[in-house]
Amino acid sequence: MKRTGITVSVLTAALTATAALAPTAAHADPPTPPGKATTLEHLAALTVAAEGSSSGYSRDKFPHWSTVSGTCNTREIVLQRDGTNVQTDASCAAISGTWYSPYDGATWTQASDVDIDHMVPLAEAWRSGASSWTTAQREAFANDRTSSQLWTVTDNVNQSKGDKDPAEWLPPRTAFRCMYARSWTDVKYRYNLTVDSAEKTALTNLINTYC
């Protein structure tokens, strides 16, 4: 399949999209990535290259939690999307609700106990090609709600993941590993990011084992 290069207009669509701000009644997942067969095709199409340097990397070069609408930013909108019965205050901050973390199967009732994880971490993206992007492209990547890039997960599980790729870290809940590999591959494919050889091998094994 032929891919087109990333463009600011495509990437910034995630930032300009609006979302319903009413309290959510039920859990919703991020957009679903392609299935097994398409994921394997997309994985095969990715450029295999050694990871680049982290030199020059800073989270500030990926402006995130950008304003979506009114006082609501990306983190707050994702908390509403992924939670059940989420109630917010006048500033759009979540004050109550329930959040399920697919990485470990834990359920939380305090928004402070969960993080919004970038499926492909910002530092990993930097080393895989995002170092050459514009700030606008990196902002769109860091706030992308149109793909399976953003997930609400247990904070300390997210911290254990850090900026590791699937050859170095996997979610402890094995039932999620198929979705994890599909989502990771989808984000890398959408943004024309590279994979290193160990990462590609790990993704191939995950997809063939768990999907």
* 115-134 pLDDT, tens digit each: 999 999 999 999 999 999 99
The per-residue pLDDT for 25 is 52
Does residue 2 lie in a domain region? no
Evaluate whether 28 touches 170 at the Cβ level (below 8 Å): no
Domain count, the chain: 1
Does residue 198 lie in a domain region? yes
SS3 97: strand
The per-residue pLDDT for 15 is 41
Give the span between the Cα atoms of 211 and 206, in whole angstroms.
Answer: 7
The per-residue pLDDT for 16 is 38
* 6-59 pLDDT, tens digit each: 444 434 444 433 333 445 455 778 999 999 999 999 999 999 999 999 999 999
Does residue 150 lie in a domain region? yes
Does residue 23 lie in a domain region? yes
The long-range contacts involving 129-134, CB below 8 angstroms and separated by at least 24 positions, are 129/52, 129/191, 129/192, 129/193, 129/194, 130/62, 130/191, 130/193, 131/52, 131/56, 131/57, 133/6, 134/8
**Which helix or strand (DSSP H or E) is residue 116 part of?**
strand 114-118
* 143-176 pLDDT, tens digit each: 999 999 999 999 999 999 999 999 999 999 999 9
The per-residue pLDDT for 17 is 36
Question: Hey, what amino acid is at 54?
Answer: S
Query: In terms of DSSP bridges, do strands 94-100 and 107-108 run parallel, antiparallel, or are they unpaired?
Result: antiparallel
pTM: 0.89
* 58-85 pLDDT, tens digit each: 999 999 999 999 999 999 999 999 999 9
**Which helix or strand (DSSP H or E) is residue 40 part of?**
helix 36-45
Rounded (to 5) percent helix, strand, coil in the chain: 40, 15, 45
Whether the predicted pLDDT of 96 surpasses 70: yes
Does residue 174 lie in a domain region? yes
Does residue 3 lie in a domain region? no
Domain encompassing residue 15: 8-210
Does residue 1 lie in a domain region? no
